Chains A and B, each alone.
Chain A
C-alpha cells in the first residue's frame, strides 16, 4: 500500500506527538519561518512558492504563490491570513488528519504567508464537528506563542503574527471563500459576487488571503527542500502530491498521499487493493458533490487538475469514493443532489430552485415514474444551473448528474423505459420473489417479514404478496435455501 506514496503534506502525521512542539521542531519545524524572517524577503519567498508550482488543494486549484502575490500587492494598513479548515465535503477527511496529526505545520505556513503578504493576524476557520483538531490547535498555538514562534516580534524579528480560531457551524457552502468570510463576520454564509476578490476586499473589508489546510501543510516542506525538488514531483501543470481519502468498495480504505499524475487504476488497484468481495468495479467518484463519476474507461487517467476536469470530474478536496456493481448511479446522483438541495444557501435562483427541479426528476425516475423526456430535461436544466449560478457550489452542483448521464446513459434509460434498476437499489423497481423449487416451507421468511406480506403453511411453498411487500430485504437475509430472488 505504501510503495507508490510520497508523503509531503502528511510528512509528520503519525511520526510526531502533535501536542509537543519539540517534536515538530526536531523535524525541521519553524526552520523555514526562521530563514524567511532573517535571510529572505517577502517577495522572494513568494517567488519560491510560485516556482514550486503549488496549487490550491481545496478544490479550485488556483496557484498559491500567485494568490499570495495578489494579496501582497493590495495596499492596506491591515490584512488577514485565513486557513480554510471547514472540511465539509462528505467522504473527505485529510484536513482533519493534518490538523490532528501535525497542527504546527499549518501554523508555521500561516505565519510565512502573513510575512509574505504583510498581515499580522490569522484565523483558522474550523468545523465545530472536529473537537480533537480544535483541542490540538489550541495547544499548538499556546506552545508556539510560549516559544516565541508566534505572537509579538517572532524570534526577535520585527514581524508579529497572531493566530485565532473561528468555528464553523455546519454549512457546506462556507468552503467557498467569500461565504466563509461572511460566516466569520457573524453572518449567514452566503457567497458574494467576485470581484472584488478577497485579496482586495475580504475579512472586515481588508485584503485577505484564504488557503486550505492541505495547501498550507505543503509550504514549509517546499521552503525546506526547495521549489525545484517540489516541482520535480508530479505532472506538467500539477506539481507535488495530493492526499486522497480512499473509501467505498475498495479493500484498503484510508488516507493516501500520491504524486500528481498517478493513475486512477494505480490508486484503486495497487494502493486500494482492488474491489472488495470480488465484485466488479463500476465507478469512482472524486471531487465530492461538485465532482463527477468516472468509469472503467477512465481508469488510466492521470490524477491532476486538468485531466480529471477533462474527463468530467474534478480534483476537489480529495474524496475518492469507489463504487461497485451494486451501486445504482441514478440513486447516487440523487444522493448528491439531495445534499446540494439541503446545502444550497438559497441566495441565487438557479441553485436554489434549479437543483430542486433536478432532484425531483431524479426522485421520479428512481420511483419508476420517469419518462424519456426527463433525461433531456436533466441535461438542459443542469447546463443552465452550471452557467448561471453565483458561486462555485451552484456552478458545479449538477456535475454528479451530468457525469452519470454521460457515462451511464444506459442505466438511466433502463430506469425510465424498462423500469428496471440493474443494481437492485431502487425499491420501486424491484420485486422479491420466492423460487418454488427451492422453498422448503421452513417459515423463516414469514416470521421475519415486518409487513406480514409472506403467506404459506409450514412445509408448504411460501408466497410474497407484492402489494404488501415493502421490499426491505429481511426475508432474503433469513432464507438459508437460496429460495428468494430480487428481480
Chain B
C-alpha cells in the first residue's frame, strides 16, 4: 500500500470516529480515546487527520496528546507491562521490581522490546494498594510482586 493510500484510509477511519462526536472540538479528548482504542497509539498521521476533520490546528491535538499520560505516540508491546508507582507500591519496593523488568527485558521504562512483544510503563496508582507492589500485564494483575518473581512472570508470556 502506498503512503498516500494509507493516509486516505486513516482519514476515512478518523472521519467515522469524529462523526460519532459530531466533529465537535469540545469532544477532542473523547475522540482521541476512541482513536487510540482503534490504533493502539496515536501517531502523527492520525493526529493530523483528526485536526483536519474537526477544524483545529494540529499543534492543539499534539499538545493534548503529550499533556495526558494516557495517550501515547509509541506503539505498545503485545504484552504491555504496567508497573504501579503509586505511593503504597513505592514504599513496598516497586522501584526494584521496575529495575528487574528493565534489566531482564533490556528496555527502559516507556520503551518496547525490539520484537514488539513487551513494553514497560509505569502507572500512578491503579487503586489496588492492598496488593502493593502491583504489576499489570495486559488486563492481568499481579499482586505482592517481588523482584525475584519477575523472571517467572515474564516466562509466562514467552
A positions within 8 Å CB-CB of B: 87-93, 96-97, 128-130, 166-172, 183, 185-189, 204, 245, 247-249, 253-254, 285, 288, 319, 321, 323, 327, 332, 335-336, 339, 345, 450, 472, 477
Contact = CB atoms under 8 A, between A and B. Distances in A.
A169 B69 contact: yes
Contact of B130 (A129, A170, A188, A253): A253
B64 A248 contact: no
Contacts of A91: 86-88, 125, 129
A129 B125 CA distance: 10
A247 B130 contact: yes
5 closest residue pairs by CB, A with B: A93-B127, A169-B68, A90-B86, A247-B88, A186-B28
Interface stretch (B2-10, B11-19, B29-37, B112-120): B29-37
B88 A186 contact: no
A133 to B, nearest CB: 9
Contacts of B148: 477
A321 B87 contact: yes
B91 interface: yes
Interface of B: 24-30, 32-33, 63-64, 67-71, 85-88, 90-92, 99, 103, 123-130, 132, 148
Given A90-B125, A186-B28, A319 B87 contact: yes
A180 B155 CA distance: 41
A185 B56 CA distance: 13
Given A90-B87, A170-B71, A253-B130, 12 more contacts: A92-B127, A130-B127, A167-B29, A169-B69, A170-B68, A170-B124, A183-B29, A188-B63, A245-B88, A248-B87, A248-B88, A254-B130
Contacts of A171: 67-69
Contact of B33 (A93, A169, A187, A450): A169
Nearest to A338: B85
A397 to B, nearest CB: 15
Nearest to B33: A167
A392 to B, nearest CB: 17
Given A169-B32, A247-B88, A327-B91, A90 B69 contact: no
Nearest to B126: A129
A285 B126 contact: no
A197 B111 CA distance: 41
A450 B124 CA distance: 29
B67 A90 contact: no
A321 B68 contact: no
A88 B87 CA distance: 12
A172 to B, nearest CB: 7
B24 to A, nearest CB: 8
A172 B124 contact: yes
A463 B87 CA distance: 36
17 contacts: A89-B125, A90-B125, A166-B30, A171-B67, A172-B124, A185-B26, A186-B28, A188-B67, A247-B88, A247-B130, A249-B91, A253-B88, A253-B132, A319-B87, A327-B91, A345-B67, A472-B99
Nearest to A332: B91
Contact of A128 (B70, B86, B91): B70
B92 A88 contact: no
Nearest to B25: A186
A92 B67 CA distance: 22
A130 B125 CA distance: 11
A480 to B, nearest CB: 15
A248 B91 contact: yes
A188 B86 contact: no
A245 B127 CA distance: 9
